[in-house]
Amino acid sequence: MMLVHVGLIEHAERVHNGWLRTVEDGIHTYDIYDERVSKQKVGTKEFAEAVIDRLGQTPQILKARKYSKGEESHGGGSASGPAPQKALVGIDVFLDWTKGSADDLGDALSKVNGEGVKLTMISNRGVKVWPRGHAETFCSDHWRCRFLPESEGGSVAHSQIVSLLGRIANQGYDFIKTEGLYTFDGERGFSLDQGE
């Protein structure tokens, strides 16, 4: 969690345990709702409000989370320890696009693969929609397109990203934002989307 990364251990515990208590209380978002165990189906805003209401509480059935000082990040190196090993392992390119389905976009955008980088996933509104997404997913005009190295576990150079963005622009796509994907000491430092 970001709070642990920046050294706010007690805050991280309060949030994590409030989240666990919310899940334990059966307040679930639509993606995990199961009528056999869930008590209330809510949207993400209502779920966040339920977590806030439970800050400071601990779960009664699930194991409460206790972070240790050893889990803190050393934030770029200091007298307390070395900086973590940071590696660029991909890029998320966000597109403004309205010309078809997720499959249409995936098939067309795969043509920009090359120079050691390939399209591996497209998501929309936090849900993976390509490859093998659900056709019934409502999609907006804002698409996250994840490009990773062609070789599993590899890294990406900035020059590969610049070249990729050039190919995307040359194909007529409007990219509106990018996010570098990094690992820290081999651990993923970026989020996954639902279904990924």
pLDDT tens per residue across span 95-135: 999 999 999 999 999 999 999 999 999 999 989 999 988 77
Sheet strands (E) in the chain: 27-29, 40-42, 86-96, 117-124, 127-130, 142-149, 174-184, 187-188
Question: Domain 86-188 carries which CATH code?
Answer: 3.30.70.1570
Q: Is the dihedral of CA 48, 51, 56, 62 positive or negative?
A: negative
Q: If DSSP states are collapsed to H, E and C, what string results for 110-123?
A: HHHCECCEEEEEEE
Full-model pTM: 0.60
Q: Per-domain residue ranges for the chain?
A: 2-71, 86-188
Work out the percent of the chain whose per-residue pLDDT is above 90: 63
Tokens encoding 156: 């990406």
More confident residue, 88 or 196: 88
CA atoms within 13 Å, Cβ hemisphere of 128:
14
pLDDT, residue 91, reads 97
pLDDT tens per residue across span 3-56: 887 888 888 899 999 999 999 999 999 888 888 889 999 999 999 999 999 999
Work out the percent of the chain whose per-residue pLDDT is above 70: 92
d(CA 115, CA 108): 17
Q: Which pairs with CB-CB distance under 8 Å and at least 24 residues apart come from 150-155?
A: 150/113, 150/116, 150/117, 150/118, 151/116, 154/89, 154/116, 155/87, 155/88, 155/89
Among residues 52, 51, 67, 87, the alpha carbon closest in space to that of 5 is found at 67
**Summary mean pLDDT of the chain:** 89
